[in-house]
Amino acid sequence: MITKDPTMSFSHTNFSRRTVLTGAAALVLAGITGLRPAMAQQAQADAFVKAFANQLVAVVNGPGSSASKQQALAPLIENSVDVAAIARFCLGRYWNTATPAQQATYTQLFHQVLLNNISGHLGEYQGVTYTMTGSHPQGDDTLVGTVINRPNAPPANVQWVVRNGTPKILDVVAEGTSLRLTQRQDYSSYLSRHGGSIDALLAALKRQLNG
């Protein structure tokens, strides 16, 4: 009759437990390691939006005419907002039908329209303050929440979509409405009514700037 060696049984049990514990520890460590890049990206996006908001508030609340504020705002938008990416997104599928020259002209006009739209509302935001409300991943980007406080107006929830890596603002979601998605729908509707003519859109943007 063959008898079990209790030492062998005990060793096998210990080995199994060590294997399970080692595997569990590896999974936990992998989870922690996976969280670190996401947490670092969120921290980077938070710091980026805070720096941008501080500069924006300084321009809005500062002295000077609308023209001087627009001049101060231009480099801030250029450095902090990925205008080219937003412009391309807003043109949607029509970007691929535009010639390189049309794409360049459209991007230049879009940049100026965006700047005019922001600076045109500077007077409405005198005395503005803001608070940070946290951030979380959104696909490959990070969504950073803020609450904008204005005199004689209810607080506004504004979220900033920030590209990870080299941070740039890709979208602003005001009270649940994506500004770039709204603009894309407007352009798509306009182009549909004008036979998909990029030149017609460029002419409309020029009229908007001249007006």
Q: Which of 6-10, 130-134, 165-169 has the lowest mean pLDDT?
A: 6-10
Phi-psi region of 141 (alpha: psi -120 to 50; beta: other; left: phi over 0): beta
Is the pLDDT at 169 greater than 50? The verdict is: yes
Q: What is the rounded CA–CA span in Å between residue 176 and residue 180? A: 12
Per-residue pLDDT of 22-69, as tens digits, reads: 554 444 444 444 456 778 899 999 999 999 999 999 988 888 777 888
Nearest-5° Cα angle at 195, 192 to 201: 75
pLDDT at 16: 55
Per-residue pLDDT tens for 57-111?
998 888 877 788 888 888 999 999 999 999 999 999 999 999 999 999 999 999 9
CA 77/CA 172 separation, integer angstroms: 13
Give the DSSP letter string of the chain.
Answer: -----HHHHHHHHHHHHHHHHHHHHHHHHHHHHHHHHHHHHHHHHHHHHHHHHHHHHHHHHSSS-HHHHHHHHHHHHHHHB-HHHHHHHHHGGGGGGS-HHHHHHHHHHHHHHHHHHHHTTGGGGTT-EEEEEEEEEETTEEEEEEEEE-TTS--EEEEEEEESSS--EEEEEETTEEHHHHHHHHHHHHHHHTTT-HHHHHHHHHHHHH-
- Range of weakest confidence among 65-74, 139-148, 171-180: 65-74
Kindly state the average pLDDT of the residues 178-205. Answer: 96
**pLDDT at residue 150, as a whole number:** 84
* Angle, helices 179-193/198-210, rounded to nearest 10 degrees: 120
Cβ contact 52:169 at 8 Å: yes
pLDDT, mean of residues 162-189: 94
Report how far residue 72's alpha carbon sits from residue 76's, in angstroms, rounded to the nearest whole number.
Answer: 7
**pLDDT band (50, 70, 90) for residue 11:** very low
User: Residue 107 gets which letter from DSSP?
Assistant: H
What pTM, to 2 d.p., does this model score? 0.78
pLDDT for position 160: 96
pLDDT of 188 higher than 70: yes
Smallest CA-to-CA distance from 129 within 150, 145, 146 is with 150
Does the structure show a pLDDT above 80 at 7?
no
Greater confidence (121 vs 150) lies with 150
Domains of the chain, earliest start first: 37-210 (3.10.450.710)
